[in-house]
Structure 1
Amino acid sequence: MEKVIEIINLNKVYKNGRGITDINLEINRGDIFGFLGPNGAGKTTTMKIMTGLIKPDSGDVKILGHSVMEEFEKSMAKVGCIIETAETYQYLTAYENLKQFSRYYKEIDDKRIDYVLEITGMLKFKNEITRKFSLGMKQRLGIAAAILSKPEVVILDEPFNGLDVEGMIDMRNIIKNLAKEEKTTFFISSHLIHDVELTCNKIGILYGGRMINIDTTKNILNNYASLENYFVSEVEQNGRI
């Protein structure tokens, strides 16, 4: 299998003592990886390092064979992401926002913009100013922006945040279809454990800044009634619930 994401001995500790310690992880092409952990475990810190938003104390992240620390532009060339919040230019329409984002990439035309708006359920809001959008609508538009350039890797921090039930089902289907049909690799952090169970094929649990277990969803569900039961068991074994 082709390794698409490699996290190697990654460390980042803040003055308050929180952060991440010695994170190692490999994710293959077409995987949908679910990154789980309690609040403050270090998930967003890890994802910010993966996307070059902050620097680690030590260690490295390689995406498609390129070091984020040493070859940032090459490592990010085929990556789409949302970290923490899906932001927009609030005085522009949904279409105008994506048109603006398309300037950073080659060969993104109006047909592609309409396509990502359609699959995220935002085409009917194409010409509306985003200032008036609900949180769920902004999240859908953020997903559209993340997949606009046909990325090989998509990194999503809380992608189901603010979505209604229909929206969650739509997002799950988009992610699974892209992974299956285009071999897009997803790295997803979420507190909505049921959606992670229904979406991801591989799970990693971060606790206290350390990766405590990595397994396939299939193996987990062969041994536990649900991903939630597995998560609770793993966290209890490591000191808190």
Structure 2
Amino acid sequence: MSHAIEFNHLTKLYTNGRGIDDLNLIVKQGEVFGFLGPNGAGKTTAMKIMTGLIKPTFGDVKIFGASIQEQFVQAMSHVGCLIETAESFQYLTAYENLQLSARYYPHVNGKRISECLELTGLTKFAHEKTKKFSLGMKQRLGIANALLSNPKLLILDEPLNGLDVEGMLDMRHLIKKLSQEQGTTFFISSHLIHDVELTCNRIGIVLNSRLVSVDHTEDILRNFSSLEHYFVNEVERNGRA
């Protein structure tokens, strides 16, 4: 199995001491990788570096073998992402917002836009302006936008934010479907640990800017009653260290 993501000594430290310090990690193609940690641990910093939104102080990230710093266009050519907040043009409809994004992808046409709206449960709202959308509907649209180019890797920061129970179930099903049927790789950060447990097949925990543990979900659940208990144990153990 080839590598979808390679972190090599990735470092980005801010004056307040937060950020990422010497992060080394490999995520294989087709994996659904959960990236967990307390607030301020460095999760979003790592994801912003992966997508070129900020530059590292030291180190690099390779996506399907291409360096984010030296081969950015090639590295990002197979990536879809949703970082922090799902934004849209509120005076445009859901379809029109995706149509605007589709201009960056020559191979994306109206059929693909409609497919992404259907995948995220927005078909019946396709021609409504997004200013009327709830937080959960905006989140669905953000995920539809990330799916638009049919990427090989999806980087999702809090993808279930604002979704109701039905929406969470739909997104879990979608992630598993794309991973199993198309070999899509997912790198997911979330505070909803139960959903991560049910969705991700490998887990990494970052604490105080450093990656402190990486393990397969099935192995974690052999030794702990839930991913939540494992997470709390790792935070307490490494916090003391």
- What TM-score, normalized to structure 2? 0.98
Match in the other structure for 1:79? 79
Match in the other structure for 1:227? 227
Match in the other structure for 1:38? 38
- Matches for 1:77-226 after TM superposition, within 5 Å: 77-226=77-226
- In structure 1, distance between residues paired with 2:117 and 2:202: 28
Cα displacement (A) at 1:233: 0.5
- Any idea what SS the aligned residue of 1:238 has? helix
Amino acid at match of 1:220: I
CA-to-partner distance for each residue in 1:162-187, whole Å, 9 max, x for gaps?
Answer: 00000000000111100001100000
Cα displacement (A) at 1:57: 0.5
Amino acid at match of 2:92: L
CA-to-partner distance for each residue in 1:8-45, whole Å, 9 max, x for gaps?
Answer: 00111101111111100100111000000000000000
Amino acid at match of 2:167: G
Cα displacement (A) at 1:238: 1.3
- Matches for 1:51-70 after TM superposition, within 5 Å: 51-70=51-70
| 108-117 vs 58-67, greater mean Cα deviation | 108-117
- In structure 2, distance between residues paired with 1:197 and 1:160: 13
Moved over 2 A (4+): none
CA-to-partner distance for each residue in 1:86-127, whole Å, 9 max, x for gaps?
Answer: 111111000000111111012211111111101110000000
**Where do 5+ consecutive residues of structure 2 fail to align?**
none
- In structure 2, distance between residues paired with 1:132 and 1:96: 14
Number of residue equivalences:
240
Amino acid at match of 1:131: K
Percent sequence identity is 65
Amino acid at match of 1:204: G
